[in-house]
Structure 1
Amino acid sequence: MKICFQTKTWGEGTGWFAQELASALAENGADVIYVAPKAVPAERDPKHPRVTRYVSRRELGNGPLLPRVLSSLARVRDGIFGCLSARLQTNTYLFSIPDPMPFFLPLQAMLRLLGARVYLIVHDATPHAWAGRARPPFWGRLALILSYRLSSHLIATTRDCRDEMIYRYNLSPARISVLPHGLFALGAPRDLPGNGNLLVFGSLRRNKQVLESIRAVQACRAQGLKVTLTIAGAPDRADPSYWADCQAEIARAPDGIACDIGFVPDDALEDLIAQSDAVLLPYRGFSSASGVAILMALSQRPLIASATGGIRDLFDTGMTGIALSADAGAEDIAAAISQFCAKPPAIWQQEAQKARAILLKALSWHEIAKGYLAVINQRGAVPGT
């Protein structure tokens, strides 16, 4: 079987997902035409002999507007050309985090008219950018529904994501499969330091309740708990006022709170994890998989996290930590932190080691890729194409 697999991503969780899946599909015997920007870091780029690389341009993250727009358009152009040229070799397409809808919808339609099967991996049933809006944008919602219906089949990464597509977008359950997010690991896990430090890591978006986590730690410290907080990651460029609110709250009671703002490379992330006893992920309105949760669990760190979306699936599988309700606020997070501190680090260490062993088996990329190939085979891929 030959598959054209396209994504616009190259780094962080969404990039790692695509890179690992492309390699795992190849390890399971598929020939993969991987259309994507070069990975960051470069060593993550798929190198399996069954993977043929079509490298699209990487867009600019910073700098003047015009060069950033032109680089994004160049990336879109490269991706479309790579996908269309692959039609001479395959009729099977897999997409994860594709280009924006004004470009992806025409590509989907063209591929379907050319007789191709289009499989869309859905990480978020509803885009993050719509979070907090009373009503989603009309044209954006219409484009999203059209994209779902143009796809031959949809693959959700969590049960909650599947359910949201069914009930919010009126899609048939028969058109959606659920396959989990695979494992991420940086290296050999290190023991808990026992220092009471809690870590918030990843994109600092409003739905991740960074502000509530800050307030919870401040409240715990005011009660005499020996806890500290490290915040590491990049603010949401679409919502700059949120990080400004977080900074103002930190300034009110800054003791015990450290920030490492911006992109965090792998070696620095390993050190941040090693210096932390647990990770805070009190997400709200969250139905997708969490690469951060997987990474932290495999790093043998307990999670104080909302039992929603992929995080709920991880708790059900065997991840250790303290589960929060989906609507938890600062007081609930503070109570969970107190509960966490009441158990000795040595006990958390043992539980985290057991959880890691369970997750390594359950989230094997090799087994997940088998699931993808089974879905594709069941739904009409032509062998050898």
Structure 2
Amino acid sequence: MLNFGRYPVKAVNVALIEPVGSHGGMDYYDSGLCGGLASNGVPVTWYTCDVSEPCGSIAFEVKRPFERIWGKEPAWKRGLRYVRGLFSTMHDARARKASIAHFHFFHVGPLEALGVMLARLYGLKAVATIHDVEAFKPGLTSTSLRDLTYRLCARLIVHNRVSRDELISRCQVSAAKIRVIPHGSYLGLIAPAMDRNLARDTLGLPQDEKVVLFFGQIKEVKGLDLLIEAFGKHREAMAPVHLVIAGKVWKDDFARYQALIDQYGLGDFCHLHIRYIPDDELSTFYSAADLIALPYRRIYQSGVLLMAMSFGVPVLASDLPGMKEIITDGENGFLFGAGDADLLGKQLVQVLSATPDVGKVVAQASADMQSKFSWKTIAAQTLFAYKELLMVEKV
């Protein structure tokens, strides 16, 4: 471990550059990290889009130079506004003597590459959190631009070891450049859980039956078809039970999921909210559920997982490497064999029958959210990564 006492460290002053923000659910992550840094005494400014609003009670500076970059206007016009936002951000960051430009990437294309190049030109150390090593939509990432961008970054942050290993093997990134820092919890960022009866009344759900929730973007890698198949084959053993599916379809066709619902005769037991779920409805959906199901076929990290654990709702997830770095089966959540609808169905029966001590599992998950996944803890690890870059050896 580095002993910073032997070396002077330049002042840490962070420009967190994340233009998605409240447009696409990154406001919680951005607010958590900025708030955590602020609580560790670090000056930080969040540069984001014009619809973003911070969450939580910890104050930090927010600037919105990325104006009108989302919507249905031509891509070239929104792209030019994005570029203008980058230049405005860099000019402002340099004026307030920022030392770190921290980006967040789900893919790397021309705009992402330009942001890192500008940070370097403006004299900032570029740090990027790589949320998805490989974009789940083909064509979003340019391999050549990605490799160049990663070379220009002084540090790359990932949320788990599987992402680190893929970054090394797929992108030929040096292990010395990568730091593994977990995704933080949602405690203090989301509205508190509401009364379950009220939540169920709001959603038109029965009070005296079990409710399983699938929440978030609906796309092929999320495995919703596995959940519907498991529900269809094992519903009688779980009964009385209802399945709530809530989220917007992304590069997928819900018709194939509807066909499965019809095939298994689940129309009366499936409650569909196929739309974007705004922040002010999150507590309603999570508070109404007895169990959150995450039957993902592939994932690097899951905000839904951490949000469920933050709300105090038990989670049943695929035993993918990224999930297993957060969940220990039977201790703070439940796992099943990824891709196997039958195993998923059997685990649903077990958990909903309360054969395991679900209350104990929920308590441990809540404790984890308050300790190792708290944003103050995450920000302290991030601050250490910043300081590594800003050390100046004594002459």
**Cα distance in structure 2, aligned partners of 1:60 and 1:336:** 41
User: Corresponding residue for 1:367?
Assistant: 377
- The correspondence of residues 8-23 of structure 1 with structure 2, limited to 5 A, is 8-11=19-22, 12-23=24-35
Question: Using a 3 Å threshold, how does the CA distance of structure 1 residues 23 and 321 change in structure 2: closer, same or farther?
Answer: closer
**8 Å contact 1:189–1:298 — kept in the other structure?**
no
Q: Compute the displacement of 1:311 (Å).
A: 2.2
User: Corresponding residue for 2:18?
Assistant: 7
**Cα distance in structure 1, aligned partners of 2:163 and 2:322:** 9
Q: Compute the displacement of 1:303 (Å).
A: 1.0
Q: Compute the displacement of 1:125 (Å).
A: 1.0
Question: Using a 3 Å threshold, how does the CA distance of structure 1 residues 195 and 33 change in structure 2: closer, same or farther?
Answer: same
Letter matched to residue 351 of structure 1: V
- The correspondence of residues 328-339 of structure 1 with structure 2, limited to 5 A, is 328-339=339-350
Question: Using a 3 Å threshold, how does the CA distance of structure 1 residues 213 and 86 change in structure 2: closer, same or farther?
Answer: same
User: Corresponding residue for 1:86?
Assistant: 93
Structure 1 runs of 4+ with >3 Å offset: 58-61, 97-100, 187-194, 222-225, 316-319
Partner secondary structure for residue 16 of structure 2: strand
1:269 counterpart = 2:282? yes
Q: Deviations over 1:108-150 (max 9, x none)?
A: 22432444311111111111213xxxxxx59722222222111
Q: Compute the displacement of 1:381 (Å).
A: 5.9
**Cα distance in structure 1, aligned partners of 2:312 and 2:127:** 34
**8 Å contact 1:91–1:381 — kept in the other structure?**
no
Q: Compute the displacement of 1:99 (Å).
A: 8.6
User: Corresponding residue for 1:178?
Assistant: 180
Partner secondary structure for residue 314 of structure 1: coil
Return 5+ residue gaps in structure 1 as ranges: 131-136
Q: Compute the displacement of 1:98 (Å).
A: 7.7
Q: Compute the displacement of 1:103 (Å).
A: 1.9
Q: Deviations over 1:346-385 (max 9, x none)?
A: x313431232123211111111111111111112267xxx
**8 Å contact 1:198–1:228 — kept in the other structure?**
yes
User: Corresponding residue for 1:53?
Assistant: 63
**8 Å contact 1:36–1:79 — kept in the other structure?**
no
Q: Compute the displacement of 1:46 (Å).
A: 8.3
User: Corresponding residue for 1:141?
Assistant: 143
Superposition TM-score, scaled by structure 2 size: 0.83
Percent identity between the two aligned chains: 24
Letter matched to residue 43 of structure 2: D
1:292 counterpart = 2:304? yes
User: Corresponding residue for 1:357?
Assistant: 367
Q: How many residues align?
A: 366
Partner secondary structure for residue 203 of structure 1: coil
User: Corresponding residue for 2:159?
Assistant: 157
Question: Using a 3 Å threshold, how does the CA distance of structure 1 residues 113 and 270 change in structure 2: closer, same or farther?
Answer: closer
Larger displacement relative to structure 2 (69-78 or 18-27) = 69-78
Question: Using a 3 Å threshold, how does the CA distance of structure 1 residues 316 and 79 change in structure 2: closer, same or farther?
Answer: farther
**Cα distance in structure 2, aligned partners of 1:183 and 1:319:** 17
**Cα distance in structure 2, aligned partners of 1:358 and 1:45:** 19
User: Corresponding residue for 1:197?
Assistant: 211
Larger displacement relative to structure 2 (87-96 or 118-127) = 87-96
Partner secondary structure for residue 295 of structure 1: helix
Q: Compute the displacement of 1:13 (Å).
A: 4.0
**8 Å contact 1:202–1:233 — kept in the other structure?**
yes
Partner secondary structure for residue 128 of structure 1: coil
**Cα distance in structure 2, aligned partners of 1:295 and 1:218:** 27
Q: Compute the displacement of 1:35 (Å).
A: 0.9
1:107 counterpart = 2:121? no
User: Corresponding residue for 1:311?
Assistant: 323
**Cα distance in structure 1, aligned partners of 2:238 and 2:62:** 57
Question: Using a 3 Å threshold, how does the CA distance of structure 1 residues 209 and 139 change in structure 2: closer, same or farther?
Answer: closer
**Cα distance in structure 2, aligned partners of 1:361 and 1:224:** 34
Q: Deviations over 1:300-339 (max 9, x none)?
A: 11111013244222214986332123x3222221122122
Larger displacement relative to structure 2 (51-60 or 23-32) = 51-60
**8 Å contact 1:155–1:176 — kept in the other structure?**
yes
User: Corresponding residue for 1:166?
Assistant: 168
Question: Using a 3 Å threshold, how does the CA distance of structure 1 residues 217 and 73 change in structure 2: closer, same or farther?
Answer: farther
Larger displacement relative to structure 2 (211-220 or 96-105) = 96-105
**8 Å contact 1:123–1:156 — kept in the other structure?**
yes
**8 Å contact 2:105–2:132 — kept in the other structure?**
no
- The correspondence of residues 106-125 of structure 1 with structure 2, limited to 5 A, is 106-125=114-133
**Cα distance in structure 1, aligned partners of 2:44 and 2:125:** 15
**8 Å contact 2:215–2:247 — kept in the other structure?**
yes
User: Corresponding residue for 2:257?
Assistant: 246
**8 Å contact 1:300–1:349 — kept in the other structure?**
no
Question: Using a 3 Å threshold, how does the CA distance of structure 1 residues 261 and 348 change in structure 2: closer, same or farther?
Answer: same
Letter matched to residue 290 of structure 2: D
**8 Å contact 1:289–1:309 — kept in the other structure?**
no
Q: Deviations over 1:219-255 (max 9, x none)?
A: 112556332210001100xx233x2211222233223
Letter matched to residue 340 of structure 1: V
Q: Deviations over 1:238-277 (max 9, x none)?
A: x233x22112222332230111121212342212222211
